[in-house]
A and B are shown apart, each in its own frame.
Chain A
Amino acid sequence: MIFVALKMLMGDRAKYIGIIIGLTFASLLITQQASVFVGLMTRTFAAITDLGQADIWVMDPKVQFVDDVKPLSDTKLFLVRGVAGVQWAVPLYKGLLKARLENGNFQTCNVLGLDDATLVGGPPKMVEGKLEDLHRAEAVIIDVNGARGKLARPPTVEGGERTPLRIGDTLELNDHRAVVVGLCEVTRTFQSQPTVYTTYSRATQFAPKERRLLSFILVKPKPDEDPAALCTRIQAQTGLLAITRPDFQWTTVKYYMKYTGIPINFGIAVLLGFLVGTVIAGQTFYNFTLDNLKQFGALKAMGASNLTLLRMILVQALTAGSIGYGLGVGLASLFGRAVRGSELAFRMMPQILWISAGAVAFICALSAVLSIRKVMKLEPAIVFKS
């Protein structure tokens, strides 16, 4: 009877398409909006992701997220290096500095100052030049998106194209000359500002003069050292906050979730997708069953048991759900593919696919339950009513 159920479902083209559109819409909206949300949240901790060599981040105890820099005195670095279990500890400058563009405009850049000796925390991928070139005088490495976009030189003729920054070009960072020695790829940040890498000592020269300029201390535990235990030890001995990389990422996400309206806005969009999908698909599926009530009655009269009819409706709901879910997720993937590398954030995680599948399954189950109740209570004698 599964074959009959599928033929019934697909035979009424208009309703079939209505059900599929409803489920596709719900699946698309839930998957797409959730992926954009996760993409945005991922960008909030882009700096932590890109500085992957450090397993532990040490900072002022009042720091709430990665961009909430509360500088430390340089001497704290030595305190951390003295904690048992630390393989290495290096300084990191992280700050927003203004770059002066050729047309006189200013562009805020996210400047990362790496340990002069080791350059630990460098960009995840160099596109042009070498990380070691940072040892050259006034050297900076810029991310390609920034070089092609916000830091690009203005067109020489009106209506012309902007010229990307290239190796050898110069720019002014907080009134200091900087020479581009390399281009790199980085994870886009939440604010989408260009990322500029330089050495720690040079970054502190670029930065406005303050008594304390050390933003974070990056720590690598010794082999076989438990990072969580080392964090506890560092906190106890230095009074600083030490957290593992995943915990710092999650702390940052939680800050944005708590103090911005982003989760609520996306949550509303996801909820709307779910509700609209439920209404369209659920109502159409229910109407489809109502329209076929006499056919179900005839099947019941001819000896189809309630269990058989239940199976038929479940197969119909499951089929419509699978197709709608597949189309929705497929369209969301195409969207993600289309915006890859652009300003738009998008990260489709397996968990999102599960959530979306669960939501579509819930919509189908709800529609099926409403329909099944009607069919179960159906008197087969209905077939003799003309």
Chain B
Amino acid sequence: MQTETTLAVSCRGVTKTYTSGTTRTHALRGVDLDVFPNELLMLVGPSGCGKTTLISVIAGILDQDEGEAIVFGRDFKAMGQREKTKWRGVHIGFVFQAFNLLPSLNARENVAVPLLILGENRKNALERAQAVLAEVGLGDRGDSLPAQLSGGQQQRVAIGRALVHGPRLIVCDEPTSSLDHETGRTVIELLRKTAVAEGRALVIVTHDTRIFSYADRIARMDDGRITRIEMNGASS
């Protein structure tokens, strides 16, 4: 059994409310969730149930109102903004639904961005990025701009970017929803194969039922709460 100290992510009683004018929207209503190292956890549920808010809190890019969110033993609430930003840069990788690649940078340069943010020199960063591109099967497309790549290829570049600096947690927001079935399957297989390793945890927000079988566990959310957590027998 996992102990508290070996958890990748531990959320206890996390709440988040958005206020717009006089309207208050309770996005998270006391979420308890654990994510273990070497685990691929999928957060699923209807639109507006709070999935994206929860991974934003887990990734340290959104502050919860109440409760505790601890990632690899670090409590974001106890960190200052600068420290949190730096910690995020070192320990967290991101894969976005819309890829969010910089359009004027080629694939290799896009993959190198997290290393450049961490202060790595350009030559080393680009060399490392090229190696990671090869790992995600795009070794020959390093010079291509995002516009010259298919959706699947762009998402693979984004995965390379999430992996390049060796983060301990990778958060993915709908990584396959912009892709066709076959490409989506390739992308999730790649994530499964390359991302879940060496104590790393992977949290994926998705609507895509076709990829549920790749999860170790599936956390179902509704109305700002985790309603059920299922072990996935089909996962490897």
Contacts and interface: CB of A to CB of B under 8 A. Distances in A.
B104 A11 contact: yes
Nearest to A292: B102
B131 interface: no
A147 B98 CA distance: 74
B59 A4 contact: no
Contacts of B122: 3
A7 B56 contact: no
A381 B86 contact: no
A87 interface: no
B55 A384 contact: yes
Given A305-B86, A383-B94, A7 B113 contact: no
Nearest to B102: A295
B20 to A, nearest CB: 14
Given A4-B116, A381-B56, A303 B90 contact: yes
Contact of A302 (B52, B82, B114): B114
Contacts of B173: 383-384, 386
Contact of A11 (B62, B96, B105, B161): B105
A302 B89 contact: yes
Contact of B61 (A1, A294, A301, A305): A301
Contacts of B113: 4, 299, 302
Contact of B96 (A7, A12, A304, A384): A384
B55 A7 contact: no
A293 B104 CA distance: 14
Interface in B25-63: 52, 55-56, 59, 61-62
A304 B55 CA distance: 19
Contact of B85 (A1, A4, A295, A305): A305
B28 to A, nearest CB: 13
A3 B110 CA distance: 12
A39 B13 CA distance: 75
A7 B103 CA distance: 9
B83 to A, nearest CB: 10
B97 A386 contact: yes
A127 interface: no
A305 B82 contact: yes
Contacts, number: 87
Nearest to A302: B114
Contacts of A8: 102, 104-105
A303 B56 contact: no
B88 A301 contact: yes
Contacts of B52: 384-385
Contact of B104 (A12, A299, A302): A12
Contacts of B105: 4, 7-8, 11
Interface in A293-314: 294-295, 297-306, 308
Interface string A347-368: 0000000000000000000000
Contact of B109 (A4, A294, A379): A4
B64 to A, nearest CB: 12
B85 A303 contact: yes
A330 interface: no
Contacts of B96: 298, 383-384
A11 B146 CA distance: 12
B100 A294 contact: yes
B86 A303 contact: yes
A37 to B, nearest CB: 41
A383 B61 contact: yes
A385 B116 CA distance: 25
Nearest to B116: A1
A379 B103 contact: no
A380 B117 CA distance: 15
B174 interface: yes
A18 to B, nearest CB: 15
A128 B61 CA distance: 81
Contacts of A300: 61, 85
Contacts of A380: 61-62
Interface string B150-171: 0000000000010000000000
Contacts of A386: 97-98, 173-174
B30 to A, nearest CB: 20
Interface of B: 52, 55-56, 59, 61-62, 82, 85-86, 88-90, 92, 94, 96-98, 100, 102-105, 109, 113-114, 116-118, 122, 161, 173-174
Interface of A: 1, 3-4, 7-8, 10-12, 294-295, 297-306, 308, 379-381, 383-386
9 A-B pairs with the lowest CB-CB distances in the bound complex, closest first: A303-B89, A11-B104, A380-B61, A298-B100, A381-B62, A381-B56, A384-B52, A7-B104, A304-B117
Given A295-B100, A381-B56, 6 more contacts: A4-B113, A11-B104, A303-B88, A306-B85, A380-B61, A384-B173
12 contacts: A1-B116, A4-B113, A8-B102, A298-B94, A301-B61, A303-B88, A303-B117, A304-B89, A304-B117, A381-B56, A383-B173, A384-B52
